[in-house]
Amino acid sequence: MKQLRRLAATVCITVPLAISAFAKPSPKKPVINSKQQALLVELTGKDISKENDITLYAEMVSAYERNDEIAFKSRLQSMMSRFPQSVYADNALFLAGRMSVDNNDFAQAIKYFSQIEKKYGKSNKAAAAKFAKGMTYKKMNLPEYAARSLKEVRARYPGSPESFRADAELKIIK
């Protein structure tokens, strides 16, 4: 029942956001009318318009630890639409990639890790995302792609912990 409530809340949040994103290209925040807001508060017990990026990220970590994909992805979508420049945005995407790997959704994990590289290339998670991408390719039994990613880690981030781990993994792959 709790999962059903979260799913309903996710649908109530995402459908208006998706429609408003295609309806008008203005950079304004998506508007949730009072009926939708009341339904969200009733279903989830929380008023999402009053949550900040720290609270959203804390809820995401909690959902990750419970392996609750529905709650995690709804919070991730909210974080990325409301706070794309947050200091937690790259960490949120990295957790999403890790959750996808844990649930054997490797293609989605690659997308999350690539998104970190593109949007947050200078962040503290960029090296970890590149390394995780290589390890995901390794799990997919694609050693040539894994080696390419791991070599990029060595080249771009020399001296980082991920660089040393990439060296060790490249020795294993060869």
pLDDT band, residue 173 (cuts 50/70/90): confident
Domains of the chain: 34-172 (1.25.40.10)
Q: What is the tens place of the pLDDT at every residue in 44-101?
A: 666 556 678 899 999 999 999 999 999 999 999 999 999 999 999 999 999 999 999 9
Q: How many residues does the chain have?
A: 174
Are 133 and 114 in contact by the 8 Å Cβ rule? The answer is: yes
Give pLDDT, residue 25.
Answer: 47
| Segments in the chain forming alpha helices (H) | 2-23, 34-44, 53-66, 69-82, 89-102, 106-119, 126-139, 143-156, 161-173
Contacts of 68 (CB under 8 A, 6+ apart): 3, 6
Q: Is the pTM of this model over 0.75?
A: no
Give the Cβ contact number of residue 158 at 10 Å.
9
Q: What is the tens place of the pLDDT at every residue in 19-52?
A: 444 444 444 444 556 666 566 556 666 655 667 8
